[in-house]
Amino acid sequence: MNAVLPRRADRMAVLGVLNVTPDSFSDGGRYRTIDDAISWAEQMWRDGAELIDVGGESTRPGAERVAVEAETERVVPVIRALAERGIAVSIDTMRASVAQAALAAGALVVNDVSGGLGDPDMARVVRDSGCPWILMHWRGHSTVMRTLASYDDVVADVLSELGQRIDAALAAGVDATQLILDPGLGFAKKPEHDWRLLAELGQLQALGFPVLVGASRKSFLGSLLGDGRPDPAGASRSRPVAEREDATTAITAYAALRGAWAVRVHQVRAAVDAATVVAAIERAGK
């Protein structure tokens, strides 16, 4: 069994984020109708995305879970419509039944932010379909993940915990060629943890699996770029979400230089341009 990863020979791949949710941290509520979601997905596809990553449940810090029926109803019509248009789609879910319905509707990849911990049946769905499975480092649901950001050594701990998820997937019969790893930036992580994981991305690469970097517009970028003045609650002021795109593009270029398989971003064109430039520089140096 050899899973077919959407990838290009000439540059790092780019996944475009499509949240069909009312409450995602960056674009919640923007694409709640099928027509709006399809229109934005088509634009990201024209801009060069290799996959459109469709999610129907917010995983922002503090977000409450939605009913499985609601999640399924949000994503399946969009995925079916995109697949019919020849657009490659991944499903962003931690529920096996949602993943199964999405795959039946035409999704090609399962992006599981829980790394298989959220639903013990996910490994069976992935095994039986033979699709690629993105395993993200995860310690708990959005309502509690901020309380779980404690590490002896964040790099060693994340590698160890992802290793456990790899072992569990293989033991369930999932083929190693199906697996992609994601360090889970921002999930049960403080900003200093996110920066350290990026600095040591090579250690994650050394596990021998493709690596996805998902940093787009995340809070550790806002913290870095804030003006340092306290907000009304006394916390340090953060750069607004909508003003983190340049920083996201910088992470994209860095990930490309470090050999990541893909980045997951909200604005595809800038990411594709950055990945293309890095690839051209690398080719010129050979």
> Which active-site residues does the annotation give?
218, 264
What values do phi and psi take at 229, rounded to 5? -80, 145
**Assigned token pair, 95:** 């529920």
Q: Who contacts 129 (Cβ-Cβ below 8 Å, separation ≥6)?
A: 100, 103, 110
Dihedral sign of CA atoms 64, 68, 70, 72 in order? positive
Residue for token pair 């995860």 = 138
CA 196 to chain centre: 18
Q: At residue 127, what is the residue type?
A: R
Residue pair 67/23 in contact by the 8 Å Cβ criterion: no
SS3 of residue 202 by DSSP = helix
Strand ranges across the sheet with 262-265: 179-182, 133-136, 109-112, 89-92, 51-55, 13-19, 262-265, 212-213
Dihedral sign of CA atoms 166, 171, 172, 177 in order? positive
CA 33 to chain centre: 22
SS3 of residue 248 by DSSP = helix
Work out the burial of residue 204: count CB atoms within 10 Å of its CB; fewer than 13 is exposed, 13-18 middle, 19 or more buried: buried
